[in-house]
Amino acid sequence: MFQEYKKHPLDLVSRFIPNDPVIFEAGGHYGEDTIRFTEKWPLSKVISFEPNPDAFKKLQDAVCKRSSQGVIQAYNLAVNNYNGTATLNVCYGTTGDNPLFEGASSLLEASPQMAIHYQGPKVEVPCVILDDWCKKNNIEQIDFMWLDLEGLELQVLKSSPSILTTVKAIYTETNMYDFRKGMTKYKELRSFLEASGFTMLSHWYFEGLQGNAIFIKKEYLHVSPDQQFKKS
């Protein structure tokens, strides 16, 4: 369903969230998607986590204007299932020196069959449970989650049940192959989200490898946006 939105997923998501959403982005990378959120929803508040220190510097540079306006809040943090520090396995590709592949960095170690392709330094980074971070920072709801966690999706979502109840839409990477040790696979992620009250709206993928999916909270599927989010 909705295959025509493959290149424009935010247009599909916009049908189910308010025009002034709180957006949480896990894996801000260089800020390309972060900027797109604010262009699509000028009244939004975007919270972006990027654990890789080098990528975070580029993220900060990309969003500096919008950060000063309070639209984007960028943090050099990893979201995890515990608070403390974690090892980020930075990916520089098969040669181990190409930043082009930084987007595939993960808190999870590479699987044996993929280790040759995920070479790069290991960096200690601060990590947080999203529920705890939201409570500490007075974030009472998140309307839209954008998850690019390279296989850590299920651990992160399971550890933050409170904020998950407020979420209306989720755009998430999906994996059908063991790229990393202990990574979340598509079927278990879908089962968990469906049990948590979400319905998968669309899934774009390469068979047996990776994809991206949009999940919507069931209660928002059959009501028009005007009825859903009308201000009292």
Query: What is the DSSP secondary-structure string of 152-177?
Result: -HHHHHHT-HHHHTT--EEEEEEESS
Please determine, for residue 226, whether its predicted confidence score (pLDDT) is greater than 50: no
pLDDT recorded at residue 67: 66
Strands 84-89 and 122-129: antiparallel
170-195 residue pLDDT tens: 999 999 999 999 999 999 999 999 99
136-174 residue pLDDT tens: 999 999 999 999 999 999 999 999 999 999 999 999 999
Helix, strand or coil, per DSSP, at residue 146: strand
End-to-end CA distance of the chain: 33
Distance CA 60, CA 108 (A): 25
77-118 residue pLDDT tens: 999 999 999 999 999 999 998 988 999 999 999 999 999 999
Distance CA 91, CA 164 (A): 29
pLDDT recorded at residue 231: 38
Name the residue among 57, 60, 86 with its Cα closest to residue 159: 86
Distances (CA, A) of 188 to 109, 154, 161, 203: 20, 8, 16, 15
Please determine, for residue 227, whether its predicted confidence score (pLDDT) is greater than 60: no
Name the residue among 145, 142, 192, 147 with its Cα closest to residue 163: 142
pLDDT recorded at residue 71: 87
> Which residues, other chains included, contact 218 with Cβ-Cβ below 8 Å and sequence gap of 6+?
197, 198, 199
Plot region of 54 (φ>0 → left; ψ -120 to 50 → alpha; else → beta): alpha
Distances (CA, A) of 202 to 10, 53, 216: 12, 33, 10
Note if the pTM is more than 0.85: yes
Polymer length in residues for the chain: 232
Please determine, for residue 225, whether its predicted confidence score (pLDDT) is greater than 60: no
pLDDT recorded at residue 229: 47
Please determine, for residue 222, whether its predicted confidence score (pLDDT) is greater than 90: no
Query: Rounded to 5 degrees, what are φ and ψ at 72?
Result: -115, 135
Name the residue among 133, 179, 175, 138 with its Cα closest to residue 156: 133
**Fold held by 19-83+128-228:** Rossmann fold (3.40.50)
pLDDT recorded at residue 223: 58
Give helix 32-40 / helix 53-68 axis angle, nearest 10°: 20
Work out the average pLDDT over 115-124: 96
Please determine, for residue 3, whether its predicted confidence score (pLDDT) is greater than 80: no
Q: Specify the residue for token string 């608070």.
A: 83
40-90 residue pLDDT tens: 999 999 999 999 999 999 999 999 877 656 689 999 999 999 999 999 999
Q: Specify the residue for token string 């790069």.
A: 120
